[in-house]
Structure 1
């Protein structure tokens, strides 16, 4: 079994421990620092499906939302990321804004592992929310399996309609709500 350890002093473990996995000895899930934002932007750009924000936004996200985000490192490069935030009106609710995995790391359950690690690091979170377009079957499966793995309730409801977006060509976003998460699950 390989060890997942922190890469350097720039990436301290959020819990001060190493994490191990039987699935891959060369992949580590860690908290980002601002310098990781550039590689997060690259992964988002190369995904071809995410709404791409400016590179500046990813630098800020890696800095200001580090505790509610994770990156997957593979061979010294960011191979995936999840960015979330605690909802200001409900700090027990984690909203997942973006999640992406580089093509080089697909098939390793990287997205699921980042979500699980993030939940472990946020013991006050009881609800997870995200929005997913109706045609994004991969993300729908990811969050449905997350709910099942954590024995939580999963419901889907409308949130943003196509007409809500000022730019054309943006599909409606359905809100996925996963409730009943327990600490350390």
Structure 2
């Protein structure tokens, strides 16, 4: 599909995740400070068992970006993005969008026609990211409620809205 921003390619390397990346990814999420920090074990599992749909961005052998995603068994034409993390040193350069486009370029996504993610109402940067990707792909971005806030056990968690991009 050839989506990646060529300016980023000169300084960054994109690759599949490996189990050994889990700890550094966990630290990236923790440093980001805006994403739900899951257990370190969950990042080890993502990096090992979902390497075909998780994308690592490295600069000088340091992880500066990460997308965790998977193809749900019941929706083989959809890739679900769990988290997009960008190191503070790379913000504002389009890395989040490039990571998503790298994901869509993977062989594992050959049959994918939709990209989905959930975003909380207050997460304006993520909302803008997914709308921008839809615009670049010249397709729709539908938004609908996925998980209402009353389903979350912690009182401060907002509802999560699905952003569905496609078809492409």
| Alignment counterpart, residue 174 of structure 1, candidates 154, 158, 161 | 161
TM-score normalised by structure 1 residue count: 0.84
| Alignment counterpart, residue 136 of structure 1, candidates 107, 114, 123 | 123
Q: 1:111 to 1:20 in 2, by over 3 A?
A: closer
Q: For residue 30 of structure 1, report the CA deviation from its aligned partner.
A: 1.1
- Structure 2 residue matching 1:22: 3-state secondary structure: helix
Which structure has greater helix proportion? 2
1:112-156 CA-to-partner distances (Å, cap 9, x unmatched) read 111001101121110111000111111011000100111111110
* Corresponding residue number in structure 2 for 1:87: 72
Higher relative contact order (CA 8 A, sep 6+): 2
Aligned length: 163
Q: For residue 24 of structure 1, report the CA deviation from its aligned partner.
A: 4.7
Q: 1:104 to 1:22 in 2, by over 3 A?
A: closer
Which structure has greater strand proportion? 1
Q: 1:47 to 1:169 in 2, by over 3 A?
A: same
What is the alpha-carbon root mean square deviation over aligned residues?
1.4
Whole-Å separation in 1 of the counterparts to 2:112 and 2:9: 27
* Corresponding residue number in structure 2 for 1:42: 27
CA contact (8 A) 2:69 2:83 kept: yes
Q: 1:20 to 1:143 in 2, by over 3 A?
A: closer
Q: For residue 87 of structure 1, report the CA deviation from its aligned partner.
A: 1.2
Q: Which structure has the greater CA radius of gyration?
A: 1
- Structure 1 residue matching 2:71: 3-state secondary structure: strand
CA contact (8 A) 2:86 2:95 kept: yes
TM-score normalised by structure 2 residue count: 0.93
Whole-Å separation in 1 of the counterparts to 2:5 and 2:154: 43
Whole-Å separation in 2 of the counterparts to 1:169 and 1:30: 35
Structure 2 unaligned runs (5+)? Answer: none
Whole-Å separation in 1 of the counterparts to 2:8 and 2:69: 25
| Alignment counterpart, residue 58 of structure 1, candidates 31, 34, 43 | 43
Structure 1 unaligned runs (5+)? Answer: 1-18
